[in-house]
Amino acid sequence: MKPNLEPILNNLSKAQAGLLRVADSVSEESWKTSSGNGAWSAAELVAHLMAVERTVITAADRIVQKTPKQIPWSKRFHLPMALVEARLIKRKSPIPIDPQLIREKEEMLAELRAVRERSLAFIAETQTRDLSAYRWPHPFLGSLNTYEWFQMIASHEVRHTKQMKEIAASLPNCVASLQK
């Protein structure tokens, strides 16, 4: 059965557009500035998003090369993506920030777009296959199938767009239009 990828593709597009809109409100001078207390800078947040998306696509690419494992229904449970987007519970990322990913604003945003292009290419390359039988565990949500992982990428970006708004609001050089 050919999957309906349109909702996932729309969510990925909307999520990245929203993040990029908010990232535009952070000045180049403040890009690598943290508000302190262990909070991320805008650069660190974007580095995290790139690392997570690359990790997901690398895992998907590796896993779909094999025969899918039969997972009992009872082990397919996962928390809803709305929980990811809500950002009610703040979690510490299991993926550490790679300092080599921290660069100037425009370079990082271009790389973020390139990472998304790779994800979209993977989706296009596999669109004729049903990848719903391929599952692997998320560290907080539970067992997700390939399509749920794509949705998680979008929900994760929505979550961190809220965090980017907090970062921008804490910086002295943020664009006034963010306050709307």
pLDDT value, residue 89: 64
pLDDT value, residue 179: 47
Quickly tell me which residue has 């979550």 as its tokens.
159
What does the pLDDT look like over 127-172, one tens digit per residue?
Answer: 999 999 999 888 888 889 999 999 999 999 999 999 999 999 988 7
**Can you give the pTM of this predicted structure?**
0.86
Sequential DSSP letters for 67-133:
PPP---GGG--B--HHHHHH--S----SS---GGG---HHHHHHHHHHHHHHHHHHHHHTTTS--TT
Q: Please give the Cα distance from 82 to 99 (Å, whole number).
A: 30
Token pair belonging to 67: 């025969």
Under the banding of pLDDT at 50, 70 and 90, the label for residue 81 is low
> Which residue has better confidence, 143 or 124?
124
pLDDT at 90 over 90: no
Q: Please give the Cα distance from 102 to 143 (Å, whole number).
A: 31
Class of domain 6-20+40-169: mainly alpha
Helix (H) or strand (E) segment spanning residue 137: strand 135-138
- Would you kindly state where each structural domain of the chain is located, as residue ranges? 6-20+40-169
pLDDT value, residue 96: 79
pLDDT value, residue 75: 66
